[in-house]
Amino acid sequence: MNVDADAVSAALSHLADYLGWHVLLSLSAILIGVAVSLPLAVFCTRSHVMRGAALGFAGVVQTIPSLALLALFYPLLLGLSAFTRATFGIGFPALGFLPALSALALYSMLPVLRNTIAGLEGVDPAVKKAAEGVGMTRKQMLFLVELPLAAPVILAGIRTAAVWVIGTATLSTPVGQTSLGNYIFAGLQTENWVFVLFGCVAAASLALVVDRLLALAEAGVVGRSKPRMAAAALGLAIIFGAGLLPLAVSAKNRPAVVGTKNFEEQYILGALIEDRLRDAGFSTVRRDGLGSTVIFDALAASEIDAYVDYSGTIWADDMKRRDRPGRGAVLAQMTDWLWHAHGIRCLGTLGFENAYAFAMRRDRAAALGIRSLGDLADRAPGLRIGGDYEIFSRPEWRAVERIYGLQFGTERQYQSNFLYRAVASGDVDVISAFSSDGRIIQYGLKVLSDPKGALPPYDAVLLVSPARANDARFIAALRPLLGAIDLARMQRANLTADREAGKRSPEDIAAGLDAFISGRRSQRR
C-alpha cells in the first residue's frame, strides 16, 4: 500500500498544472463553441439550406473519433501556420493549445446548435405573432422573446457540450496540450494504474461538478430564480478561478519545455533532462506522449526546447533517406542536416541505441532454428508477427520485408505493454521490439540479427530547439548526459519502469540515473 500512497502523492503533485490547463482548455473551447453556435443556430432557423448544412457538418464532426479529430488539427494548423508565416510573416504554434482548442470547440458545437434551434423553434407561434404585433423588430423579438424563452433548452445544450468537452479534453495530451489526460496516457504507458484512475476520477469529477452547476443555472432560468442563477455563476467562477490561478502564477517566466514520445524510456529521459535543467535553475514544463513527427515539428518550431530522438528515425522520417551509409556517417549527416534545414542543434549521442529489432522467444527460435532475419524468410508464411501501432507503416519495416523477402501469415498490432506478453504467451511468434527495451531481458527474448543491414542505426541523440540553440547555460546543463548512458544501463532503467513487482516511477529512475551521472563526473574530476 506504500507504493500506492507514493503514486497518489506523485499524482497530486501534478494536479494544479494538469487541472489548470484542463479547465482553461475546456472553458475556452466551450466559450468559442457557444459563441459560434448561437448566432449560427439563429441563422439556421431562418434558412433551411443553412440549417441542413450546419447540422450536417456538426453531425459529421461528431462521428469522427475524438482522438483523430484532435490529431488532424495538428497538420492542418501546421500548414496554415506555414502559410501565414510565408504570407504575413506571422506564424502560430501548431502544437498544444490551438489544435486541442479547435477540435474541442468543434465538438461542442453540435449539442449547442441542435438545442438552440430546437429551443427557438419551440417558441409558441402565438407569442411570436404577438411580439410582431406590438411592434418588435426582428432583433427585439430575438432578444426580448425568443432567446429568453429558449434559454432553458439552450442551457441544456451547453450542459451536454460542457460534459463532452471536459471528457474529451483528456485526449489533448497526444497533441502536446497538458490536461488531466496526462495522468491517463502516462499511466497507460507505465502501467501506473493509480495515475490512470486518478486522471479518470479527476476528469469525471470536474465534468460532474460543472454539470451540476449548469443544471442549477438551468433550474434558475426555468424558475426565474435569481439566487439559483447567482449561486451557479458563483460556483462556476470559483472553479475557473481555482483552476486558472496556478497557471497565472507559473506563466510569469517562460519555462524550458521538455518533450517526450509515448514510451517509458522517453519518460525516464524526459525526467532526466528536466532534472538537469532544474538543477541549472530553469523552470521546466513537460509535454509528454507526443507522436513521433509531432514532436520533431514541435522542436523545429521551438514549441518544445529539448527531447531525445533516435538517429534512424530522423534519417528515415524527416530526411527521407533510404540509403545506409553506416552509423557514424548517419550521425554526422543528420547533425549537419538538422542544423542547416531547421536550426536544430544535435548535442550528441547519449551512449546507447534504441534500434528497431525483431525478437522471438528463445525456445521457439531454437526450435525453428532461427537466428537472424534471413532465417525467417522461409518460415514467415506460417508465423504470426506482432507489432506496435507504428511499425507496419514504417519504412524500416518495408525495408526488412523487401530485403529479406518476408511475408508473414498474420500481422497483429498491440499496445507495447501487451506486445511482449503476446510473444511470451505464444499468441504471436515474432514481435517488433526496441533494442533498449528492458523487457527483452525480462522475458529472455532472442533479438534476431540483421546481417544485410536492412535496419538503420538508432543512436539516442539529444536535440535542442532553434530558440535554445545558442543558450549556453541551457546546453551546459545538458552536456553531462552525452555518452553517459550505455545500453545495459538503459535496459535496466527501462526494466525498472516496466516490471510488475517493485516498479518505480520514471522520475524516480531518472533521479537515480542523474545521481549516477553526477557521481561519475565527480569521480572523473
Partner 1 sequence: MIELRDLSKQYGARAPAVDSMNLRIEGGEFLVLAGPSGCGKTTTLSMINRLIEPSRGNVFIDGVDTHQTDPVALRRRIGFVFQDVGLFPHMSVAENAGIALKLAGKRPQEIGARVDELLALVRLPAEHFRNVLPGALSGGQRQRVGVARALAASPRLMLMDEPFGALDPLTRDELAFDYRRIHERLRLTTILVTHDMTEAMLLGDRIAMMREGRLVQVGTPHELCSAPANDFVRAMMESPRRRARALAEVQADEK
DSSP assignment of 117-186 equals HHHHHTS-HHHHHHHHHTT--HHHIIIIIIHHHHHHHHHHHHHHHHHHHHHHGGGGGGGT--STHHHHHH
**What CA–CA distance (Å, rounded) separates 433 from 452?**
18
Number of residues engaging partner 1 in binding (CB under 8 A): 18
Pick one of 56, 122, 148, 426: the residue that binds partner 1 (CB under 8 A).
148
d(CA 161, CA 210): 11
Q: Could you say which of 127, 234, 251, 367 contacts partner 1 (CB under 8 A)?
A: 127
CB 200 within 8 A of CB 184: yes
Tell me which of 28, 140, 293, 442 binds partner 1, using CB under 8 A.
140
Decide: residue 50, CB within 10 A, 0-12 exposed, 13-18 middle, 19+ buried.
middle
137 binds partner 1 (CB under 8 A): yes
Answer for which of 4, 13, 68, 129 binds partner 1 (CB under 8 A) is: 129
C-alpha span between 168 and 162 (Å, rounded): 10
At closest approach, how far in Å is the CB of 130 from partner 1? 3
- 461 half-sphere exposure, CB direction, 13 A CA radius: 26
Cell 457557444 -> residue: 34
409 binds partner 1 (CB under 8 A): no
Confirm or reject binding of residue 121 to partner 1 (CB under 8 A): no
Residue 131 lies near partner 1 (rule: CB under 8 A): yes
| One residue of 12, 31, 130, 245 binding partner 1 per CB under 8 A | 130
Report the residue number, 138 or 473, with the smaller CB distance to partner 1. Answer: 138
145: contact with partner 1 by CB under 8 A:
yes
Nearer to partner 1, 92 or 143 (CB): 143
Enclosing H/E stretch for 259: strand 256-261
Judged by CB under 8 A, which of 126, 281, 340, 502 binds partner 1? 126
The SS3 call for residue 289 is strand
**417 near partner 1 (CB under 8 A):** no
* Nearest distance in Å: CB 37, partner 1: 22
Smallest gap from residue 11 Cβ to partner 1 (A): 47
Helices (H), 280-324: 292-300, 311-313
Q: Which stretch binds partner 1 (CB under 8 A): 83-91, 137-145, 322-330, 365-373?
A: 137-145
Which of 6-14, 39-47, 91-99, 140-148 is the region at the interface with partner 1 (rule: CB under 8 A)? 140-148
Distance CA 203, CA 403 (A): 48
By the rule CB under 8 A, 155 interacts with partner 1: no
Interacting residues with partner 1 (CB under 8 A):
124, 126-127, 129-137, 140, 144-145, 148-149, 224
